[in-house]
Structure 1
Amino acid sequence: MAGLYNSLFVQGLTRGVKSLLPLWGVSDKATISLLTVSENATFLIKDEQRDNQFIIRVHRPDYHSKNEILSELMWIQSLRQQQVLNTPEPLAMEDGSLVAEFDDDGTARYVVAFEFLPGQQPSEDESLIEGFELLGATSAKLHLHAKQWGLPDTFQRKKWNFDSAFGRQPLWGDWREALGLDEQGKNVLERLCEVLESKLADYGEGPERFGLVHADLRLANLLADGHDLGVIDFDDCGFSWFMYDFASAVSFLELSPLLPELERAWIRGYKSVSPLSDEDEAMISTFVMFRRLLLTAWVASHPETETAAEAGFDKYTAGTIELAKRYLDEHEEQEKLPLNEKRILDMNAFEAKPGKHNKNVERRLDNLGAASVLFYQNPIEMVSAQGAWMHAADGKRYLDFYNNVPCLGHCHPRVVAAVSKQIATLNVHTRYLVSVVDDYLESLKATLPDSLSNVVMTCSGSEANDLAMRLAENASGGTGFIVTEDAYHGNTSLVTTVSPSIIKQGSLPDNVVAIPAPSSAIYGDDIAGGFAAKVAEAVETLEQRGIKVAALLVDTIFSSDGIYSEPRGFLKQAVNVVRDAGGVFIADEVQPGFARMGETFWGFDFHGLTPDIVTMGKPMGNGFPMAAVATRPDYLESFCADVGYFNTFGGNPVAAAAGQAVLDTIQQDNLQENARKMGAYLKQQLQFMAKQSSFIADVRGQGLFLGIDIGERDNKHIPDPGKTRQIINGLKHAGVLIGAAGKYGATLKLRPLLTLTRYEADFFLDALSKQV
Structure 2
Amino acid sequence: MAGLYNSQFVQRLTRGVKGLLPMWDVSEKANISLLTVSENATFLIQDEARNQRFIIRVHRPNYHSKKEILSELMWIQSLRQQQVLNTPEPLTMTDGSLVAEFDDEGTARYVVAFEFLPGDQPNEDESLVAGFELLGATSAKLHQHAKNWTLPDGFERKKWNFESAFGPEPLWGDWREALGLDEQGKVVLEQLCQLLESQLEAYGEGADRFGLVHADLRLANLLADGHDLGVIDFDDCGFSWFMYDFASAVSFLELSPLLPELERAWVRGYKSISLLSAEDEAMISTFVMFRRLLLTAWVASHPETETAAEAGFDQYTQGTIELAKRYLAENEQQDTSPLSEKRILDMNAFEAKSGQHKENVTRRLDNLGAASVLFYQEPIEMVSAQGAWMQAADGKRYLDFYNNVPCLGHCHPSVVAAVSKQIATLNVHTRYLVSVVDDYLESLKATLPESVSNVVMTCSGSEANDLAMRLAEQASGGTGFIVTEDAYHGNTSLVTTVSPSIIKQGSLPDNVVAIPAPSSSVYEGDIAAGFAAKVAEAIETLQQRGIRVAALLVDTIFSSDGIFFEPRGFLKQAVEVVRNAGGVFIADEVQPGFARMGDTFWGFDFHGLTPDIVTMGKPMGNGFPMAAVATRPDYLQSFCADVGYFNTFGGNPVAAAAGQAVLNTIQQENLQENARKMGDYLKQQLQFMAQQSSYIADVRGQGLFLGIDIGEKDNKHNPNPTKTRHIINGLKQAGVLIGAAGKYGATLKLRPLLTLSRYEADFFLDALSKHV
Fold match (TM-score > 0.5)? yes
- The one-character-per-residue Cα deviations of 1:121-157 (angstroms, maximum 9, x if unpaired) are 1233353233123212212312332343345558677
Structure 1 residue identity aligned to 2:549:
V
Contact 1:399 1:735 in 2 (8 A): yes
After TM superposition, the structure 1 = structure 2 runs for residues 491-502 of structure 1, keeping only pairs within 5 Å, are 491-502=491-502
Q: Which moved further from structure 2: 744-753 or 145-154? A: 145-154
Distance in 2 of aligned mates of 1:442 and 1:767: 42
After TM superposition, the structure 1 = structure 2 runs for residues 503-582 of structure 1, keeping only pairs within 5 Å, are 503-582=503-582
Structure 2 residue identity aligned to 1:753:
L
- The one-character-per-residue Cα deviations of 1:203-240 (angstroms, maximum 9, x if unpaired) are 98876666544454344331134665321344565666
- C-alpha change, 1:56 and 1:685, in structure 2 (3 Å) is closer
Distance in 1 of aligned mates of 2:110 and 2:32: 18
Distance in 2 of aligned mates of 1:343 and 1:708: 18
Distance in 1 of aligned mates of 2:147 and 2:472: 59
- C-alpha change, 1:243 and 1:410, in structure 2 (3 Å) is farther
| DSSP-derived class of the 1:369 partner | helix
Q: Which moved further from structure 2: 424-433 or 259-268? A: 259-268
- C-alpha change, 1:91 and 1:661, in structure 2 (3 Å) is closer
After TM superposition, the structure 1 = structure 2 runs for residues 194-593 of structure 1, keeping only pairs within 5 Å, are 212-225=212-225, 229-234=229-234, 237=237, 242=242, 245-246=245-246, 248-253=248-253, 258=258, 261-263=261-263, 265-272=265-272, 273-275=274-276, 278=280, 281=284, 282-291=286-295, 293-294=297-298, 297=301, 299-300=302-303, 303=304, 308-309=305-306, 311-312=308-309, 316-319=312-315, 321-322=317-318, 325=321, 336-350=336-350, 358-593=358-593
Whether 2:765 is the aligned partner of 1:752: answer no
- The one-character-per-residue Cα deviations of 1:395-441 (angstroms, maximum 9, x if unpaired) are 33322222121111222222122112211222112211111111111
* 1:656 CA drift (Å): 0.8
Structure 2 residue identity aligned to 1:134:
L
- C-alpha change, 1:268 and 1:241, in structure 2 (3 Å) is same
Aligned length: 755
| DSSP-derived class of the 2:594 partner | coil
Contact 1:198 1:730 in 2 (8 A): no
Contact 1:594 1:619 in 2 (8 A): yes
Q: Which moved further from structure 2: 287-296 or 334-343? A: 287-296
Q: Which moved further from structure 2: 622-631 or 670-679? A: 670-679
Whether 2:629 is the aligned partner of 1:645: answer no
Distance in 2 of aligned mates of 1:103 and 1:530: 69
- C-alpha change, 1:56 and 1:104, in structure 2 (3 Å) is farther
Contact 1:699 1:709 in 2 (8 A): yes
Contact 2:205 2:354 in 1 (8 A): no
| DSSP-derived class of the 2:514 partner | strand
Distance in 2 of aligned mates of 1:102 and 1:655: 59
Q: Which moved further from structure 2: 271-280 or 577-586? A: 271-280
Contact 1:185 1:321 in 2 (8 A): no
Report % sequence identity: 73
What residue in structure 1 maps to residue 721 of structure 2?
A: 721
* 1:626 CA drift (Å): 0.4
What residue in structure 1 maps to residue 133 of structure 2?
A: 133
* 1:163 CA drift (Å): 9.5
Stretches of structure 1 that go unaligned for 5 or more consecutive residues are: none
* 1:462 CA drift (Å): 0.8
| DSSP-derived class of the 1:472 partner | helix
Structure 2 residue identity aligned to 1:522:
V
Contact 2:163 2:726 in 1 (8 A): no
* 1:666 CA drift (Å): 1.1
Stretches of structure 2 that go unaligned for 5 or more consecutive residues are: none
Distance in 2 of aligned mates of 1:464 and 1:66: 54
* 1:169 CA drift (Å): 11
* 1:464 CA drift (Å): 0.5
Whether 2:115 is the aligned partner of 1:114: answer yes
- The one-character-per-residue Cα deviations of 1:644-686 (angstroms, maximum 9, x if unpaired) are 1110000111111111111111111111111112212222222
Distance in 2 of aligned mates of 1:354 and 1:99: 28
Contact 1:535 1:577 in 2 (8 A): yes
After TM superposition, the structure 1 = structure 2 runs for residues 612-623 of structure 1, keeping only pairs within 5 Å, are 612-623=612-623
Q: Which moved further from structure 2: 759-768 or 224-233? A: 224-233
Distance in 1 of aligned mates of 2:401 and 2:624: 19
| DSSP-derived class of the 1:398 partner | strand
Q: Which moved further from structure 2: 198-207 or 389-398? A: 198-207
Distance in 2 of aligned mates of 1:7 and 1:597: 61
Distance in 1 of aligned mates of 2:313 and 2:762: 34
Distance in 1 of aligned mates of 2:562 and 2:687: 16
- The one-character-per-residue Cα deviations of 1:162-190 (angstroms, maximum 9, x if unpaired) are 99999999999x78999979999999999
**Considering only CA atoms, is the larger Rg found in Structure 1 or Structure 2?**
1
Structure 2 residue identity aligned to 1:559:
S
What residue in structure 2 maps to residue 599 of structure 1?
A: 599
- The one-character-per-residue Cα deviations of 1:532-582 (angstroms, maximum 9, x if unpaired) are 222222222222322222211111111122211111111111111111122
| DSSP-derived class of the 1:312 partner | helix
What residue in structure 2 maps to residue 57 of structure 1?
A: 56
- The one-character-per-residue Cα deviations of 1:88-114 (angstroms, maximum 9, x if unpaired) are 456789x89686989999999967452
Structure 1 residue identity aligned to 2:43:
T
* 1:442 CA drift (Å): 0.8
Distance in 2 of aligned mates of 1:493 and 1:68: 50
- C-alpha change, 1:23 and 1:538, in structure 2 (3 Å) is closer
Contact 2:738 2:749 in 1 (8 A): yes
What residue in structure 1 maps to residue 696 of structure 2?
A: 696
Distance in 1 of aligned mates of 2:585 and 2:170: 57
Distance in 2 of aligned mates of 1:14 and 1:513: 73
Distance in 2 of aligned mates of 1:506 and 1:84: 52
Contact 2:481 2:511 in 1 (8 A): yes
TM-score of the superposition, structure 1-length normalised? Answer: 0.84
| DSSP-derived class of the 2:547 partner | coil
Contact 2:136 2:267 in 1 (8 A): yes
- C-alpha change, 1:14 and 1:564, in structure 2 (3 Å) is closer
* 1:495 CA drift (Å): 1.2
Distance in 1 of aligned mates of 2:129 and 2:447: 75
What residue in structure 2 maps to residue 684 of structure 1?
A: 684
What residue in structure 2 maps to residue 123 of structure 1?
A: 123
TM-score of the superposition, structure 2-length normalised? Answer: 0.84
Distance in 2 of aligned mates of 1:102 and 1:631: 71
Structure 2 residue identity aligned to 1:570:
F
| DSSP-derived class of the 1:756 partner | coil
Q: Which moved further from structure 2: 363-372 or 208-217? A: 208-217
- C-alpha change, 1:66 and 1:378, in structure 2 (3 Å) is closer
| DSSP-derived class of the 2:587 partner | strand
After TM superposition, the structure 1 = structure 2 runs for residues 5-16 of structure 1, keeping only pairs within 5 Å, are none
What residue in structure 2 maps to residue 3 of structure 1?
A: 6
* 1:749 CA drift (Å): 1.8
| DSSP-derived class of the 1:733 partner | helix
